[in-house]
Amino acid sequence: MIVPPATLGMLGGGQLGRYFVMAAHRLGYKMVVLDPDPASIAGAAADHHIVASYDDQTALHDLASRCAAITCEFENVPAATLALLEQRKPVRPAASAVRICQDRREEKAFLREADIPVAPYLALLAEDPIPAQASELFPAILKTAREGYDGKGQWQVNNLDELATALAGSGVPCVLEKLLALEGEFALTLARSPGGAISALPLVQNWHSGGILDQTRSPANAPALESEAKRIAEHLIAALDYVGVLTVEFFLVGGQLLVNEMAPRPHNSGHPSLDNAECSQFELQVRALCDLPLPEQIAVRPALLINLLGDLWQNGTPDWAALLALPGLHLHLYDKGKPRPGRKMGHITITGDNWSTVEDTCRQARLLLGLAPR
């Protein structure tokens, strides 16, 4: 067990890292962030910011020398970096688990091997001939195998010609997934300690726009789906021998949950826990990293989250005063600097004692923001 006032290390400097820093500070830990961006918002909140690339050997030695344990805020930290740090200090999650989550080909193969249902797919290389069975997946989504998120690196294709053009344009390994008729999208965030204890936040329901999360309902209030999602997620976290916070995204198709992907970290859809839960996803991350006790159950209040993208600033700064006048509204701005279309600048969470009040406030908030009703 690693107890305060020990120093913890974070690879990555965005909003997920910043919330981890805040949760660690509240529990009495010191924080060091390694991120190449001098303007890193997590680095600004930490006790020390190492400005260096994730493969800088000197910087990694410095990080390891300062910290009792290390984690990461996103899955694209090189697995080789995590493996190197593991030789010096506890790194949670481990390089072996993050490596699987970094590549959709490896992730899908792992899920299939674990007997977890996924959408029909094919792994493709730009330089190889397109296999005949690709035509069985149309209409489909072509996704880059690595580093695609928030709709980036994805193209809808409807025939072999469109697929050939998109694949050649990508120039990288890809996964072709059958486009399914979704009945809903859900996510479950859970944590596992080094000793094997598991704690989960309630299942949430998500709605996306343009491939980016738009709104989240916490909890989803779907007991049968939640039970199945927990069964699948706990099976995966054990199969990975995973320590830390893991988020599993699900598609609901024909009444069955399919795993879309895994994120080896806290998740945008887990942000309501900052305001509606007894233990947030970031405190769970700190507890799992440090082998502190995990809560057996996490009670939550009704909450709806709305993402604030840079598009909202195109006609000037949103009217925060009007939004903050709404009951139960919590504003989170990430201090990212210049807004850009599609860039996550913050979020709002609306909490209350009953769904009627929360949903009514959410409608008012979307109207004030100029967002279409959900």
CATH of the domain at 157: 3.30.1490.20
- Domain-embedded: residue 109: no
Distance CA 371, CA 330 (A): 18
The confidence score (pLDDT) of residue 151 equals 66
One domain for residues 217 and 235? yes
Contact 47, 31 (CB under 8 A): yes
The confidence score (pLDDT) of residue 150 equals 65
Of 45, 76, 91, the last residue of a domain is 91
- The burial class, CB within 10 Å (0-12 / 13-18 / 19+), for 369 is middle
With the C-alpha atoms ordered 75, 196, 189, 333, is the resulting torsion angle positive or negative? negative
Distance CA 94, CA 207 (A): 30
SS3 of residue 296 by DSSP: coil
Establish how many alpha carbons lie within 13 A of residue 90's alpha carbon, considering only the half-sphere containing its beta carbon. 17
With the C-alpha atoms ordered 314, 315, 320, 323, is the resulting torsion angle positive or negative? negative
One domain for residues 278 and 327? yes
- Domain-embedded: residue 107: no
Count of domains forming the chain: 3
SS3 of residue 166 by DSSP: helix
The confidence score (pLDDT) of residue 147 equals 81
One domain for residues 255 and 124? no
Contact 50, 27 (CB under 8 A): no
- Domain-embedded: residue 101: no
One domain for residues 67 and 168? no
The confidence score (pLDDT) of residue 226 equals 98
Contact 310, 303 (CB under 8 A): no
Distance CA 98, CA 95 (A): 5
The confidence score (pLDDT) of residue 210 equals 87
Q: Report the Cα–Cα distance between both ends of the chain, in Å, rounded.
A: 44
Of 140, 162, 178, the last residue of a domain is 178
Distance CA 90, CA 5 (A): 17
One domain for residues 193 and 236? yes
Contact 77, 53 (CB under 8 A): no
One domain for residues 160 and 234? no
Question: Which structural domain range is residue 331 located in?
Answer: 184-369
Joined tokens for residue 327: 């009951």
- From residue 190, give the alpha-carbon distance in Å to each of 70, 99, 200, 208, 266: 19, 19, 4, 21, 9
Distance CA 204, CA 266 (A): 13
Joined tokens for residue 118: 């996924």
Contact 342, 212 (CB under 8 A): yes
pLDDT in tens, the chain (374 residues): 999 999 999 999 999 999 999 999 999 999 999 999 999 999 999 999 999 999 999 999 999 999 999 999 999 999 999 999 999 999 999 999 999 999 999 999 999 999 999 999 999 998 889 999 999 999 999 999 998 766 678 999 999 999 999 999 998 999 999 999 999 999 999 999 999 999 999 999 999 998 899 999 999 999 999 999 999 999 999 999 999 999 999 999 999 999 999 999 999 999 999 999 999 999 999 999 999 999 999 999 999 999 999 999 998 999 999 999 999 999 999 999 899 999 999 999 999 999 999 999 999 999 999 999 99
The confidence score (pLDDT) of residue 211 equals 87
- Domain-embedded: residue 211: yes
Joined tokens for residue 356: 């009627």
With the C-alpha atoms ordered 53, 56, 59, 65, is the resulting torsion angle positive or negative? positive
Of 178, 201, 227, the last residue of a domain is 178
Closest listed residue to residue 215, CA positions, set 322, 304, 327, 145: 304
Distance CA 92, CA 2 (A): 13
- Domain-embedded: residue 100: no
- Domain-embedded: residue 148: yes
Joined tokens for residue 230: 């927990």
